């Protein structure tokens, strides 16, 4: 069965994570994603290790980080300062449906690779610019770093223990979310291009993505005028919706309504808690969270993790284990869904987390070696390097 974006060509002028994440997902949808890299070292993430991936003959296949976000692409090593290379890249962009770039604002204009320039010869082009702060505004000139954006956006002010440091996420969540938002915008713009024969310039900023993604916490502030604070693993609007101790570790309780809370209390043999006016409704439980947590923890600490999880599952009380990444990959459900894949060279990977019409669309080709496809791509376009003028 053809993939949704088969026949779509994407030129990726992007490095590190947000842009490449978008490119990899478009590739999983079937697009031909051509990653443009500087011949001198390529994408920085090729060197962001350890760990590094080794081939069958112990050859260096770049850092594991690079493989996490460049599966299924082709690599062309082109130096934008080389006139011959630049001419080849312009021909490639003229053949493309999408360009993804994450240069500093105005950084591609001097090469004639900005949207205004390339759209003159390719008016249906969807051109996605990913930056830290957008194409205009007082911070537009600043570079965008995921960690800094997590801090500036307010995300870290609501993440971490109340008496601890503000805390970043364990992955570059700003970059990941930006890549996902970029794909949504690109796909919408592709539909417009098909219907109206008109391209688009997408301006997407890490700062705005992370700020907009604060969801209910944004509305908590806008509704009250009071900025939310760090609550550790507790939820600002629901209780008990948090990590709770057990005899051999911790579990997650995600009690979302009064019926679930009543059933939890019956499991723990403290039915009177569900009838206590202090804990009768979600609002009262949120207002009396500390007292509720203290009483629940005193009881759950006497339960074994798996025993309590099983009891909750049997009584429709939302509950979950706190797995390591190793535990996650070994989970029987994750194994049944075949989330882990092996790419064409046997390099382990993770498929995109969706099925379409019952089938996965993931591209299982290994992330490319630097410049591995330069010559073949140029021959597809022109039969070789463009003639010197």
The pLDDT assigned to 208 comes to 97
Average pLDDT over residues 159-186: 96
Reported as a pLDDT band with limits 50, 70 and 90, residue 361 is confident
Residue 387 confidence (pLDDT) above 70: no
Q: Name the pTM for this structure.
A: 0.90
The pLDDT assigned to 39 comes to 94
Residue 22 confidence (pLDDT) above 50: yes
Calculate the average pLDDT of the chain: 93
For the stretch 301-334, pLDDT in tens is 999 999 999 999 999 999 999 999 999 999 999 9
Average pLDDT over residues 203-230: 96
Residue 383 confidence (pLDDT) above 80: no
Task: Strands of the chain (E only): list them.
Answer: 9-13, 32-37, 52-54, 60-63, 74-77, 98-101, 126-131, 200-205, 241-246, 249-254, 319-321, 340-342, 348-350, 355-356, 359-360
- Six-digit token pair at 204? 């997407």
The pLDDT assigned to 359 comes to 81
Q: pLDDT exceeding 90 applies to what percent of the chain?
A: 86
Q: Residue 375: helix, strand or coil by DSSP?
A: helix
Give 74's contacts (C-beta < 8 A, 6+ positions apart). Answer: 32, 33, 34, 35, 368, 372, 373, 376, 377
What domains can you pick out in the chain, each with its CATH number? 9-213+337-381 (3.40.50.10540), 241-323 (3.30.1540.10)
- Six-digit token pair at 145? 């770093």
Any catalytic annotation for residue 175?
Answer: yes
The pLDDT assigned to 388 comes to 45
The pLDDT assigned to 54 comes to 87
Indicate which residue of 32, 175, 203, 306 is catalytic: 175
For the stretch 102-119, pLDDT in tens is 999 999 999 999 999 999
Give the torsion through C-alpha atoms of 121, 123, 125, 130, to 10 deg.
Answer: 90
């Amino acid at each position: 069965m053809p993939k949704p974006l088969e026949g779509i060509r994407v030129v990726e002028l992007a490095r590190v994570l947000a842009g490449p994440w978008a490119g990899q997902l478009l590739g999983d949808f079937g697009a031909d994603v051509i990653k443009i890299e500087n011949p001198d070292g390529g994408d920085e993430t090729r060197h962001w290790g350890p760990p590094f991936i080794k081939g069958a003959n112990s050859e260096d296949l770049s850092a594991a980080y690079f493989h996490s976000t460049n599966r299924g692409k082709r690599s062309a090593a082109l130096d934008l300062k080389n006139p011959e290379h630049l001419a080849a890249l312009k021909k490639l962009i003229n053949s493309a449906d999408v360009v993804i770039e994450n240069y500093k604002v105005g950084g591609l204009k001097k090469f004639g690779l900005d949207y205004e320039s390339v759209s003159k010869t390719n008016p249906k082009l969807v051109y996605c610019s990913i930056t830290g702060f957008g194409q205009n505004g007082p911070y537009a000139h600043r570079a965008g770093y995921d960690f800094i954006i997590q801090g500036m956006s307010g995300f870290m002010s609501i993440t971490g223990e109340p008496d601890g440091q503000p805390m970043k996420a364990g992955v570059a969540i700003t970059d990941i979310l930006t890549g996902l938002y970029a794909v949504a915008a690109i796909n919408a713009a592709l539909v417009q291009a098909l219907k109206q024969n008109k391209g688009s310039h997408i301006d997407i900023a890490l700062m705005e993505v992370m700020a907009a993604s604060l969801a209910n916490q944004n509305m908590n502030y806008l509704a009250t005028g009071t900025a939310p604070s760090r609550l550790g693993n507790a939820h600002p609007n629901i209780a008990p919706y948090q990590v709770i101790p057990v005899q051999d570790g911790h579990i997650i309780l995600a009690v979302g309504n009064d019926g679930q809370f009543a059933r939890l209390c019956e499991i723990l043999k403290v039915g009177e808690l569900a009838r206590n006016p202090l804990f009768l409704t979600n609002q009262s439980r949120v207002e009396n969270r500390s007292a509720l947590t203290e009483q629940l923890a005193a009881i759950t600490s006497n339960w074994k993790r798996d025993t309590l999880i099983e009891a909750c599952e049997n009584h429709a009380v939302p509950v979950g284990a706190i797995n390591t990444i190793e535990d996650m990959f070994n989970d029987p459900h994750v194994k049944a869904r075949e989330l882990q894949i092996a790419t064409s060279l046997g390099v382990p990977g993770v498929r995109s987390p969706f099925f379409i019409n019952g089938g996965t669309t993931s591209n299982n080709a290994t992330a490319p070696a630097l410049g591995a496809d330069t010559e073949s791509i140029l021959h597809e376009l022109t039969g070789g390097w463009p003639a010197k003028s």
